[in-house]
Amino acid sequence: MTQSQYLIKRKLNILELGEMLGNISEACRRLNISRQHHYDIKSAVEEEGLEGLREKSRKVPRIANRVAPEIERKVLDYSLEFPTQGQVRVSNELKRQGY
């Protein structure tokens, strides 16, 4: 059993215990989870089925306004060469150099 399958089975067990006991609060106390977590799982199953129980990607999105890698490299090189200069001075000096 893969980790993904294990997590899906565990989440289904949370829902099944709630139905078996007929008391969501008691089931959550026994499993040491919040009622909100139970309802999140329940709504995911209702909306997307078993696919809703899969782990979602936590990949950090790329920022749209990121500068070009060569400019970033120039900024880093300049800041390492002159570590006491602030961001405004670095920006002005690089603009003067044509970047």
The closest of 55, 75, 68 to 11, measured between CA atoms, is 55
Question: Mean pLDDT across the stretch 22-48?
Answer: 91
Q: Domains of the chain: which residue ranges?
A: 3-53, 65-99
Average pLDDT over the chain, rounded to an integer: 88
Place 5 in a pLDDT band, splitting at 50, 70 and 90.
confident
CB 42 within 8 A of CB 15: yes
The percent of residues above 70 in pLDDT, for the chain, comes to: 100
**pLDDT tens string 47-91:** 888 888 887 777 877 777 888 889 899 999 998 999 999 989 998
Specify whether the CB–CB gap between 44 and 2 falls below 8 A: no
**Residue 38 vs residues 4, 25, 31, 35, 63: alpha-carbon distances, Å:** 18, 9, 10, 5, 33
Q: What is the pLDDT of residue 77?
A: 92
